[in-house]
Amino acid sequence: MLISRLIREVNKKWFVVRKRTTQNVQSARDAVVRGAIIVVCAIFVIWLSVFLYTAFYYTYMPSMSYVRPVHLQFKSCDEEKGICSFPSAHVQLTNKQQLLMIGQAYKVNLHLEMPESPANRELGMFMVCAQLRSRDGFLVDHSCRSTMLHYRSTLLHALTTLTFSPMMIFGNVEEKQDVVLELFGNFEEDQSHPVTIIYIQIQSRHIEFYSASLMINAHLTGLRYLMFHWPTLSAIVGIGTNLFFIALVCTLSYLHIVVDEENTDENFSYEKGEDEDEKDNKTVSELSSSETSSLQESPISEDIKSKKKSFLSRTPETIGGEPSYIQEISTLLAEASSSDK
């Protein structure tokens, strides 16, 4: 007996220890799984915020500048030197897709590389005209601007030549000027007629130039200006905002799911309690029916039934000479009580 009791106690303690160990391992496993899920969700939310901000940046921000070379053409003179027509060029911006963004203002500048030759100094001011046309030849906008070489006196020109003469000898510096002419200051693309061709004409037959190029720069304002000039601050604010709203949505969704599960558990327990109540009521009704059946089988109940039948078989009588129904009922009850005693 002592050995069996000792073995039983040892088995009981071993079972308790094993159960506690299993519970601890299960709780540690659940904690690790929950921590891993939280870490994975946090990494996913962060990368999703970064992706959303990057997609918004490249969708919302336009390309800052487009550069196209301008190949000016003219008609040469047959009898004398120089050119006999205004230099002009058709600049192809795009062939199929739309180049400029709708609703964004752009600046269109013409860059002329002109030598400081006597002809250009004597040229003075000259006009440059530009036309913006769509693919079907529709004239979207046009403008004309005047420009000239920057003035430098003879003394300043001599000092500059003397100072930079060593580099001019080796070809590192040239006697030239870059003239920047703004043709359109606040141009916005028309969605129905996107610009594909720019026609440029220099209205002077005595101009001399090395090269020309067309530059289209986006004129940023508002949020685009902040996002371009302060990219780090804009990225921090944008990613933080996305992170806040995504975390808020995830938290509200989790709370909604938890509340639904709790309501489901409460409804299940309530339905279970109702079933138990129904079972109890059924048991009570069965007991009452059995009691009534036992009472029906007793001789007292048979006597009461026979008296009730005789009472119901009687015809109603007048109240004046015979006893009323109330008196007969009272007599029946008295007889039943006396028989019980």
Q: d(Cα 243, Cα 45) in Å, to the nearest integer?
A: 7
Q: d(Cα 149, Cα 116) in Å, to the nearest integer?
A: 8
Contact between 179 and 147 (Cβ < 8 Å): yes
Give the model's pLDDT for residue 93.
Answer: 87
Whether 304 has a pLDDT exceeding 60, the answer reads no
For residue 60, count CB atoms less than 10 angstroms from its CB and return exposed for 0-12, middle for 13-18, buried for 19 or more: exposed
Six-digit token string for 102? 């709708």
Could you tell me the domains of the chain? 1-61+229-259 (no CATH), 65-218 (2.60.120)
Digit-coded pLDDT (tens) for 273-300: 555 555 555 554 554 455 444 444 444 4
Q: d(Cα 209, Cα 71) in Å, to the nearest integer?
A: 11
**pTM of the predicted model, to two decimals?**
0.60
Indicate the DSSP class of residue 315: P
N-term to C-term CA, the chain? 60
Mean pLDDT of 163-178: 86
Contact between 218 and 64 (Cβ < 8 Å): yes
Of the pLDDT bands very low, low, confident and very high (cuts 50, 70, 90), residue 201 is: very high
Percent of the chain with pLDDT over 70: 77
* Neighbouring C-alpha atoms within 13 Å toward the C-beta of 187: 25
Give the model's pLDDT for residue 318.
Answer: 42
Whether 181 has a pLDDT exceeding 70, the answer reads yes
Give the model's pLDDT for residue 311.
Answer: 45
Distances (CA, A) of 82 to 78, 90, 171, 206: 9, 22, 27, 7
Q: What are the residues whose beta carbons fall under 8 Å from the beta carbon of 140, sequence distance 6 or more?
A: 132, 133, 134, 190, 193, 195
Whether 205 has a pLDDT exceeding 80, the answer reads yes
Give the model's pLDDT for residue 59.
Answer: 87
Mean pLDDT of 305-319: 47
The full length of the chain comes to 341
Mean pLDDT of 304-332: 50
Percent of the chain with pLDDT over 90: 23
